[in-house]
Amino acid sequence: MKITRLATTAPDFDARLQQLLHWSEDTDAGIEQAVAGILAEVRMQGDAAVLARTAQFDGVQAASVAELEISAAELKAAFDGLPTAQRQALQTAAERVRRYHQAQAQACCQGFEFTDDEGNRLGQQVTPLDRVGIYVPGGKAAYPSSVLMNAIPAQVAGVGEIIMVVPTPRGERNALVLAAAHLAGVHRVFTIGGAQAVGALAYGTATVPRVDKITGPGNAYVAAAKRRVFGQVGIDMIAGPSEILVLADGTVNPDWVAMDLFSQAEHDELAQSVLLCPDAAYIDAVAAAMERLLPEMPRAAVIRASLEGRGGLIHTRSMAEACAISNRIAPEHLEVSADQPRQWLPHLKHAGAIFLGAFASESLGDYCAGPNHVLPTSGTARFSSPLGVYDFVKRSSLIDISEQGAQVLGPVADTLAQGEGLQAHARSATLRLTM
Amino acid sequence: MKITRLATTAPDFDARLQQLLHWSEDTDAGIEQAVAGILAEVRMQGDAAVLARTAQFDGVQAASVAELEISAAELKAAFDGLPTAQRQALQTAAERVRRYHQAQAQACCQGFEFTDDEGNRLGQQVTPLDRVGIYVPGGKAAYPSSVLMNAIPAQVAGVGEIIMVVPTPRGERNALVLAAAHLAGVHRVFTIGGAQAVGALAYGTATVPRVDKITGPGNAYVAAAKRRVFGQVGIDMIAGPSEILVLADGTVNPDWVAMDLFSQAEHDELAQSVLLCPDAAYIDAVAAAMERLLPEMPRAAVIRASLEGRGGLIHTRSMAEACAISNRIAPEHLEVSADQPRQWLPHLKHAGAIFLGAFASESLGDYCAGPNHVLPTSGTARFSSPLGVYDFVKRSSLIDISEQGAQVLGPVADTLAQGEGLQAHARSATLRLTM
């Protein structure tokens, strides 16, 4: 396997690193135009457009959008019908994800109020969104874990109604996906997808209710549609290819690290797996483990294409330098495969999720550790966060002014409003000067 | 003045309300194309493109972008040179805004960590953004209060570097805006604007450093540019016209309410002022107050155009019904002009800021009460929040798995990964089964 090897001591390291990381989400004019057309159609024609596009793209014929809804009883039947091991694994995962997000809600989604010296009460109230839409991809990349990771934070937030859409190309339904919807408290499921599903959720149709926010991953059409309806509804991030960065000090079993790099690479050919390590011999050991383990992997072809196309083994001067490079990359998943992983934590500023220690494999986080697996990709961890309960609530400021407060604040507002040439603002403040 | 009057008892009320609220942020193809061109130019040519466009659009000639930077000494001089009343008003406002956002940071921007039964430690760490860009409009709508409201939350969050851009058409600099930048802890100021400034912040040039997020209001070109660079950098919301909704029970001086409706209407002709009240006589009293007060207002022409074009006086059956309609509108500013305003709070779900009681005029909130005046418009309070400290931090999940934890979680991840056809994920978990 020919994986790019870099050393930070090389004079052209910066340029080569930049080249390795380069990924551009080029907007495709054809996709943009198609999506604009589909959205306009759904906005004008509602259900009829949804039906026509579902027939065209998914090969699913239905007389009405109501026929495309999956009942709660069918979701429960899918759950009940799972093999015991799958049912129990899904339940354990859901419980752990729920518990984590409950702790998150406690830490970050509380309102506040304080009273100042003038008796004004100032603060914020936090309320859940009324209704959200969750997009779940269908076909070959149908992930029940994504259903849990999107729906449970919404449920913990107290969202009134969770509407899931999932395309079923040629009518194929994924029992695990439906079972996960049952378990995660999804209220309604429609078997629609693509830009037409995003449009139906954003604008509402006679059958599909309009939502306040749409989350969940999708293909280029779904991403383009989400970007277009942003403002009309809220959206979560636009996801790029998945990435892992392993920061290794050389103390963790090389087979484990090799398999973790594979686990990212097996997603698709654009996925990126990078190892940063100050120990050249250890990098060789991981490379050897990869060569040895690759033939055993059912998805070896995808893994090889991903690693040869976008993977990297980077020899650094030190762990501290590796941390600095990690901050530049701002990876989606960051494994600190080190003996004392917490010593590096204060140096790590930007990452979607930080996995600490030999036993923290990314795959545990993907499925069942508890934290969300919807994470910022392509360096966007510089400014964005994992999907969380905070994405399903919003805040309203509370401004409760006392009579005394109005006397103190009025002249200040008057002066500043006059400075901005807004005299009605000034007058509104001075009318309340009663004392 | 001919302001639309509606009554909830009318059979066509729903349709007429919808008509009154209608506002569509139609994307203008000409603007879109111009902005795409400018952004591409800035990306490719950097400073040269910024200089050319600044000369073209602002009439400002400079030999280098460095010449367009305003030094810290100049900002301080602007502050020192203000009349005492303005300087003190700005200081009081800044202190109050800072104190409020410090309380907000305590309530919503803390990390957390807990240990589960298997000894796994799970949580999140919260870190500030490295560098943000603040867009401040220039020319006639140059608002120093916006500088405080954007920069102070960033400063409280601990953002490393705050870069402000503000266009200076024909070289006109606004001393209050520069003074506010000095006071609010802005690190660098460039006198550039439009799509070229957004591009410079998003991509970086030789002179303007690349930022991680861009906040602040702007015209249609700025909004289109922000929408386009979203993903490359974070952005705040795209603001529509400003709105106020007053929920009145008839107990507050009608002159005060009339002036509050004016204060919104004076912004521009698209601004929207709406009164909801169950007391018909009180609505008449407010209307009469508006007729009487209008001639005194310097911006009477804008106020009249706004109120006649988009204003509304709505007679409701009850305060409870008024609350329900308010939730449908999800206003940016909501004044509860009532005797016991807190009794209505549990009924109010969607609003950017809620002003409670007779003395809480919107203008106090706009300038100096403390809460942020950057608020979700056009019904987006259904899913978004005031600008806050939370917009200038991001979270990284922490996943610290114990050896025992890996034994418990491994089989769960194995089962679910197999169910999704991701065997390297499964193997990554099972390799850690050591006991």
- Amino acid letter, B433: L
* Residue A140 scores a pLDDT above 90: no
User: What distance in Å separates residue A396's CA from the closest CA in chain B?
Assistant: 5
- Decide if B133 contacts B196 (C-beta within 8 A): no
Q: Report residue A29's pLDDT band, with 50, 70 and 90 as the boundaries.
A: confident
* Residue B250 structural domain: 4-23+240-369
Note whether B137 contacts A: Cβ–Cβ < 8 A.
Answer: no
Of A122, A297, A394, the CB nearest to B424: A297
Residue A241, token pair as written in the block: 């290819």
Is a pLDDT exceeding 80 seen at residue B312?
yes
What residues does B400 pair with on adjacent strands? Answer: A356, B121
- pLDDT value for A27: 66
Contact (CB<8Å) B419/A86: yes
Helices (H), A187-279: 194-203, 220-229, 254-265
Contacts of B292 (CB under 8 A, 6+ apart): none
Catalytically annotated residue among B332, B335, B362, B373 = B332
B177 plus B272 within the same structural domain? no
Domain boundary among B347, B369, B391: B369
Whether B187 sits among the annotated catalytic residues: the reply is: no
Same domain, A98 and A224: yes
Does A219 appear as a known binding residue? yes
The confidence score (pLDDT) of residue A141 equals: 66
Q: Report helix, strand or coil for B164.
A: strand
Domain-embedded: residue B377: no
- Report, as an integer, the average pLDDT of B84-97: 97
B106-146 pLDDT per residue, tens: 998 999 999 999 999 999 999 999 999 999 998 766 789 99
In a domain, B390, yes or no: no
Among A235, A266, A298, identify where a domain stops: A235
Q: Is residue B386 part of a domain?
A: no
Contact yes or no for B139/B194 (Cβ under 8 A): no
Rounded distance between C-alpha atoms, residue B141 and residue A208, angstroms: 41
Check whether residue B231 and residue B244 sit in a common domain: no
C-alpha A26/C-alpha B373 separation (Å) is: 35
| Rounded CA separation B425/B390 (Å) | 33
Query: What is the secondary structure of B378-420 as a DSSP string?
Result: TTGGGT-----GGGGEEEEEEEE--HHHHHHHHHHHHHHHHHT
B135, B92: one domain = yes
B109–A111 CB contact, under 8 Å: no
Residue B380 — φ and ψ, nearest 5°?
-75, -5
Tell me: do A16 and A147 sit in the same domain. no
Check the annotation: does B267 bind a ligand: yes
Do A215 and A76 share a structural domain?
yes
What number is the average pLDDT over the span A140-152? 89
B290 domain residue, yes or no:
yes
Q: CB contact, 8 Å: B125 with chain A?
A: yes
| CATH code (residue A136) | 3.40.50.1980
B407 marked as part of a ligand binding site:
no
A-chain residues near B147 (CB < 8 A): none
Tens-place pLDDT, residues B353-387: 999 999 999 999 999 999 999 999 999 999 999 99
**What does the mean pLDDT of chain B come to?**
95
Q: Are residues A17 and A73 in the same domain?
A: no
pLDDT, position B337:
98
Please check whether residues A288 and A225 belong to one and the same domain: no
Residues of B in contact with A130 (CB under 8 A): 349-350, 382
Token duo for residue A184: 């995660």
Res A358 pLDDT > 70: yes
Whether the per-residue pLDDT at B47 is higher than 90: the answer is yes
Tokens of A407: 């006397």
Contacts of A361 in chain B (CB under 8 A): 401, 406, 413, 428-429, 431-432
pLDDT at A341 over 80: yes
Domain count, chain A: 3
The answer to the question of residue A327 being in a domain is yes
Q: Residue B120: which of A176, A297, A369 has the nearest Cβ?
A: A369
Is there a domain that residue A422 lies in? yes
Look at residues A204, A235, A266 and tell me which one is the last residue of a structural domain.
A235
| Residue B129 in tokens | 């953004």
For residue B395, is it within any domain? Answer: no
Give the per-residue pLDDT at B281: 98
Would an 8 Å CB–CB cutoff place B416 in contact with chain A? yes
Cβ pair A220, A27 in contact under 8 A: no
Q: Which residues of A are known to be catalytic?
A: 332-333
Confirm or reject contact between A344 and chain B (CB < 8 A). no
Q: Scanning the structure block, which residue is given the tokens 């007391």? A: B279
Question: B264 with B172, same domain?
Answer: no
B48 CA: distance to closest CA in chain A (Å): 23
pLDDT in the model for residue A240: 81
Q: What average pLDDT does the structure give for chain A?
A: 95
Q: Does A44 touch chain B (CB under 8 A)?
A: no
In the stretch 361-390 of chain B, residues with CB closer than 8 A to chain A read 361-372, 375-376, 378, 380-386, 388, 390
Mean pLDDT across A180-184:
97
| Cβ–Cβ below 8 Å for B353 and A385 | no
Contact B394 A382 (CB under 8 A): yes
Residue A235: closest CA among chain B residues belongs to which residue? B383
Confidence bin at B240 (pLDDT 50/70/90): confident
Tell me if B416 and A120 make a contact (CB, 8 A cut-off).
Answer: no
Q: Is the pLDDT of residue B257 over 70?
A: yes
CA distance linking residue B219 with residue B240, whole number of Å: 10
pLDDT at B227: 87
A425 has binding-site annotation: yes
B411 shares its domain with B364? no
State how beta strands A393-400 and B131-135 pair: unpaired
Residues 324-343 of B with CB under 8 A from A: 334, 341-342
| Nearest by Cα to A417 from B429, B26, B361 | B361
- Residue B250 shares a structural domain with residue B226: no
Whether the Cβ atoms of residue A109 and residue A390 lie closer than 8 Å to each other: yes
pLDDT in tens, B138-188: 876 678 999 999 999 999 999 999 999 999 999 989 999 999 999 999 999
Same domain, B335 and B420: no
In a domain, A435, yes or no: no
Structure confidence by residue, pLDDT tens digits, A60-71: 999 999 999 999
